[in-house]
């Protein structure tokens, strides 16, 4: 684990070697994201959840000296009203279950930038397929890691990270990425992004966790497959993830995959997306769908529109569509539909790493974002999920639907 005192000592040491210690701090930059979050979920067959939370992120980064800079970020989440304890997930090993406030040093790092390369060491947010900040509620994930990015090759960005600790978004504690397994294993990620043209992007990553899994990931995005003379544009994307056991198989036999497809037709202020996901016989490690074991990142499926990430369940097959209207840069509203077929055979298969707990479902969302200027942003979500109780013996003849309302207000500076 990275010690806070060590990072602060290193930061002061580097700063003290500058010609003007005062300039390094005086020319530094303060930034932040103050957030208020209202959540109301009515859930048949499960506990309702309602809460109003305020907090956010306050960051400071020094001015660079000889390419070296340092930064810190305070993460804060404080419940104002809570009709129920509202744990973010079932991830009991890395979560403030009692609903208590979170006030922690989410970032504390040293960074070197030069020669088309950036190297960062310490507590930090990451943007990798299976290890990312997952910033969809009050606070993001953060990591204790050594990361790098290099842009010396034309049209290419090389990225990598060696991760030793992880703080889930709903927790104030950094733990080993494999803490829940009773072992201590780090995450190694190596990958790159290739953009031969302005419209084409190819991403390739490999995530390796000793004695747990190896997971190569490929994504191809083409933002202009076809364009008409009237300006109608067709874009598309493909993603594929493959996960297999390694070494001592600390989490058991891992053998699963993700296949995703996305197509978007855009005309003026309107766009229509079609989405598809297929998951193998186990849910995915390293994503929100496996938060009870190892959920270092957000749901990565194109069909991630749901209240509970249903499309990453073992054996899930998801189909969906999104109709979006964006009249200008300040406002956007989307109507979303998702149908998810679950595999009932997998639900009762004890050999699977995760038994699928849900029946088939249909979900309907209306999401809107209003951002009149760079400082203020308001987002809302109204969602309804209708479970087909006849699709599985687990919930036959039981009512099991959910409604979900979210309002998120951000002040950015």
Determine the pLDDT at residue 15. 45
Around Cβ 281, how many Cβ atoms within 10 Å? 18
Determine the pLDDT at residue 22. 77
Determine the pLDDT at residue 291. 67
Determine the pLDDT at residue 120. 98
Record the pTM. 0.88
Determine the pLDDT at residue 110. 98
Query: Which of 283, 284, 265, 264 has its CA nearest to residue 275?
Result: 264
Torsion angle, alpha carbons of 114, 119, 121, 127, to 10:
130
Q: Which helix (H) or strand (E) holds 301?
A: none
**Residue 179 φ then ψ, to 5°:** -55, -45
Determine the pLDDT at residue 195. 98
Determine the pLDDT at residue 30. 97
Which class is 4-412 in CATH? mainly beta
Please classify residue 66 by burial: count the beta carbons closer than 10 Å to its beta carbon, then call 0-12 exposed, 13-18 middle and 19+ buried.
Answer: exposed
Determine the pLDDT at residue 158. 98
Query: Which of 243, 234, 226 has its CA nearest to residue 286?
Result: 243
Residue 9 C-beta-side C-alpha neighbours within 13 Å: 5
Sign, Cα dihedral of 351, 352, 357, 361: negative
The tokens describing 65, both together, are 């000296």
The length of the chain in residues reads: 413
Q: DSSP string covering 216-267, please?
A: EEEEEEEEEEEE-TT--EEEEEEEEEEEEE-TT-TT---EEEEEEEEEEEEE
Torsion angle, alpha carbons of 174, 175, 177, 182, to 10:
-170
Determine the pLDDT at residue 156. 98
Q: Which residue's entry shows tokens 């290419």?
A: 156
Determine the pLDDT at residue 245. 95
Determine the pLDDT at residue 34. 97
Whole-number Å distance between alpha carbons of 386 and 45:
13
The tokens describing 355, both together, are 């038994």
Q: What is the pLDDT along the chain (413 residues), one digit of tens a residue?
A: 445 555 555 555 544 444 567 788 889 999 999 999 998 988 776 677 788 999 999 999 999 999 999 999 999 999 887 544 444 433 334 445 556 789 999 999 999 999 999 999 999 999 999 999 999 889 999 999 999 999 999 999 999 999 999 999 988 999 999 998 889 999 999 999 999 999 999 999 999 999 999 999 999 999 999 999 999 999 999 999 999 999 999 988 999 999 999 999 999 999 999 999 999 988 889 998 776 668 899 999 999 876 666 778 888 899 999 999 999 999 999 999 999 987 655 554 444 455 555 678 899 999 999 999 999 999 999 999 888 866 556 556 665 688 999 999 999 99
Instruction: List 108's β-bridge partners, or say none.
Output: 72, 123
- Distances in Å between the alpha carbon of 45 and those of 94, 144, 172, 312, 395? 25, 38, 30, 21, 10
Q: Which residue intervals of 279-358 are DSSP H helices?
A: 344-347
Which one-letter DSSP state was computed for residue 289?
G
Torsion angle, alpha carbons of 384, 236, 326, 128, to 10:
70
Determine the pLDDT at residue 100. 74
Q: DSSP string covering 331-377, please?
A: EEEEEEEEEEE--HHHHT-TTSSS------EEEEEEEEEE-SSSSEE
Helix (H, G, I), strand (E, B) or coil at 283: coil
Whole-number Å distance between alpha carbons of 167 and 4:
14
Whole-number Å distance between alpha carbons of 103 and 311:
32
Whole-number Å distance between alpha carbons of 328 and 183:
51
Determine the pLDDT at residue 87. 42
């Amino acid at each position: 684990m990275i010690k806070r005192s060590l990072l602060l000592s290193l930061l002061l040491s580097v700063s003290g070697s500058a010609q003007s210690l005062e300039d390094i701090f005086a020319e530094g930059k303060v930034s932040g994201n103050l957030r208020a979050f209202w959540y109301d979920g009515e859930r048949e067959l499960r506990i309702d959840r309602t809460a109003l939370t305020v907090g956010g992120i306050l960051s400071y980064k020094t001015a660079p000296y000889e390419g070296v800079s340092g930064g810190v970020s305070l993460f804060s989440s404080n419940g104002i009203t809570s009709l129920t304890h509202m744990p973010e997930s079932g991830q009991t090993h890395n979560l403030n279950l009692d609903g208590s406030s979170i006030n922690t040093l989410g970032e504390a790092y040293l960074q070197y930038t030069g020669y088309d390369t950036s190297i960062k060491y310490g507590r930090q947010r990451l943007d990798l397929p299976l290890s990312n900040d997952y910033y969809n509620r009050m606070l993001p994930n953060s990591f204790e890691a050594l990361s790098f990015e290099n842009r010396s090759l034309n049209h290419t960005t090389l990225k990598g990270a060696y991760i030793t600790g992880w703080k889930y978004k709903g927790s104030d504690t950094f733990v080993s990425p494999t803490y829940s397994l009773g072992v201590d294993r780090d995450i190694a990620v190596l990958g790159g992004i290739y953009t031969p043209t302005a419209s084409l992007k190819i991403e390739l990553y490999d995530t390796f966790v000793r004695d747990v899994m190896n997971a190569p990931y490929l994504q191809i995005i083409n933002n202009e497959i076809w364009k008409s003379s009237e300006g109608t544009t067709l874009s598309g994307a493909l993603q594929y993830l493959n996960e297999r056991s390694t070494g001592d198989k600390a989490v058991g036999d891992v053998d699963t995959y993700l296949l995703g497809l996305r197509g978007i037709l855009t005309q003026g202020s309107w766009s229509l997306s079609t989405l598809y996901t297929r998951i193998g016989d186990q849910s995915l490690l390293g994503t929100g769908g496996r938060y009870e074991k190892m959920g270092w990142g957000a749901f990565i499926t194109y069909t991630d529109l749901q209240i509970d990430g249903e499309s990453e369940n073992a054996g899930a097959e998801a189909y969906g569509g999104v109709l979006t209207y964006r009249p200008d840069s300040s406002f956007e509203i989307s109507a979303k539909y998702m149908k998810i077929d679950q595999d009932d055979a997998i639900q009762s298969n004890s050999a699977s790493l995760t038994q699928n707990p849900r029946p088939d479902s249909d979900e309907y969302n209306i999401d809107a974002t209003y951002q009149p200027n760079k400082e203020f942003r308001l987002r809302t979500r109204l969602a309804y999920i209708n479970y087909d109780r006849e699709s599985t013996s687990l919930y036959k003849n039981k009512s099991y639907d959910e409604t979900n309302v979210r309002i998120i207000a951000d002040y950015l500076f």
